[in-house]
Amino acid sequence: MMRGISRMVGNQPRSLVYNRKVEFVRNKNIDLCLLRLAPNDLNPAEYRAAANYIALGELKGGIDPAGADEHWKTATRSLDRIAEGLANANVAGQIFFIGAAIAADMAEEIWEKLQAGTLTEAANLTYDNQLASIIQWLTAL
């Protein structure tokens, strides 16, 4: 089973791993974690080091608009835990959200978080240009 993808950015390794328990985020599962580690360095000791994390994000893939609010409530709690964990670890990591069903009121809240700087990037999976934009952002980090 594939648990992530890796690449080099110049001479710096990057690995995007999926569904990872992150110790400094209350040992909770985080959907997407971008690390400054090569595949061979992905081990428990390196996962514990908060300084290895570049970005952490939540992915909500449910497409039912009726359930969008519940997905957003869950995502918001997770995003808040990520922000708290980064602050407590004194790490300036990026925080992002990707969702498939984003209702109008959710979009307003996402926009407010982006403007406030509590969320770095966000995208709606159902819009190709937004998906391309967040992929470009992730690969540029």
For residue 102, the one-letter residue type is I
- What CATH number is attached to the domain comprising 47? 3.40.91.10
Q: Could you list the pLDDT tens digit for every one of the 141 residues in the chain?
A: 668 899 999 999 999 999 999 999 999 999 999 999 999 999 999 999 999 999 999 998 776 665 667 778 889 999 999 999 999 999 999 999 999 888 888 899 999 999 999 999 999 999 999 999 999 999 999
9: alpha, beta or left, given left = phi > 0 and alpha = psi -120 to 50? beta
Its pTM surpasses 0.85: yes
Q: Cβ(54)–Cβ(36) under 8 Å?
A: yes
Q: For residue 73, what pLDDT is reported?
A: 86
Q: Cβ(129)–Cβ(88) under 8 Å?
A: no
The whole-angstrom separation of Cα 138 and Cα 99 is: 16
Quote the number of domains for the chain. Answer: 1
Range of the domain at 65: 4-140
In the DSSP assignment, the letter for residue 51 is: G
